[in-house]
Amino acid sequence: AQSVTQLDSHVSVSEGTPVLLRCNYSSSYSPSLFWYVQHPNKGLQLLLKYTSAATLVKGINGFEAEFKKSETSFHLTKPSAHMSDAAEYFCVVITMFSGGYNKLIFGAGTRLAVHP
Amino acid sequence: DVKVTQSSRYLVKRTGEKVFLECVQDMDHENMFWYRQDPGLGLRLIYFSYDVKMKEKGDIPEGYSVSREKKERFSLILESASTNQTSMYLCASSFSLAGLSYEQYFGPGTRLTVT
């Protein structure tokens, strides 16, 4: 069965420093992986997605993630944090649903705090 | 831009009441989803619909039902609300091709409190 584990429930960084949000996945086949972001009182927004093309995926707002099959990881990074990056981030894997449809499996989330 | 709207941002109901949460999408997506979001648990799928009048149970369907009479509208029904259904409810929609879903677009959520 497919699953994702977000290794940190909370991450705190200073503005202008790098961001690293860690995600490990478990999948019996080549997975499709996403990162979503949720700002306070807002719905989820897709940051980026990996679907077996390039292993380094660039997303919106300067975020990127690298798919590493050998480490079963899909960590999210950003070189320089901005105050507006403070939000909750979800790592997501697609799995097969009944009837052959896909469904999303969400990690528990990582809350990112950015300090001045 | 894809737009998914939910009928209420905040809702307070009493135990035992019947509750309707409405979701509308404007992109002609085939698939629609209802999730609940609880701290430390991420999002959990309640129900899924891949076509009008079609529905599939998700991971936590107990205590909920759904209705999809029109392609753009997907309703979540709590037949008799209970306090353990206090949560944030998120609706999503996605395009589908040959049964494969693509990324989901989410509404802003409804924070439901059952007292």
Cα separation of B17 and A113, whole Å?
38
Residue A77 — very low, low, confident or very high, per pLDDT cuts 50/70/90? very high
Q: Which two tokens stand for residue A26?
A: 């478990």
CB contact under 8 A, B90 and A97: no
pLDDT recorded at residue B10: 95
Helix, strand, coil distribution of chain B in percent, nearest 5: 5, 60, 40
Buried-exposed string A67-92: b where 16+ CB fall within 10 A, e elsewhere: beeeeebbbbebeebeeebbbbbbbb
CB contact under 8 A, B101 and A44: no
**A43 CB within 8 Å of a chain B CB:** yes
Residue B23 — very low, low, confident or very high, per pLDDT cuts 50/70/90? very high
Q: Above 80 in pLDDT, residue A5?
A: yes
**Residue contacts between A and B (CB atoms, under 8 Å):** 60
Cα separation of B105 and B112, whole Å?
21
**A109 CB within 8 Å of a chain B CB:** yes
Task: Indicate which of A93, A94, A104, A105 best probes the interface with B, i.e. most B CBs within 10 Å of its own CB.
Answer: A104
Q: Which residue of B has its CA nearest to A47?
A: B103
Q: Which residue of A has its CA nearest to B111?
A: A41
Q: CA of A17: how far to CAs of A9, A40, A114, in Å?
A: 19, 22, 9
pLDDT recorded at residue B101: 56
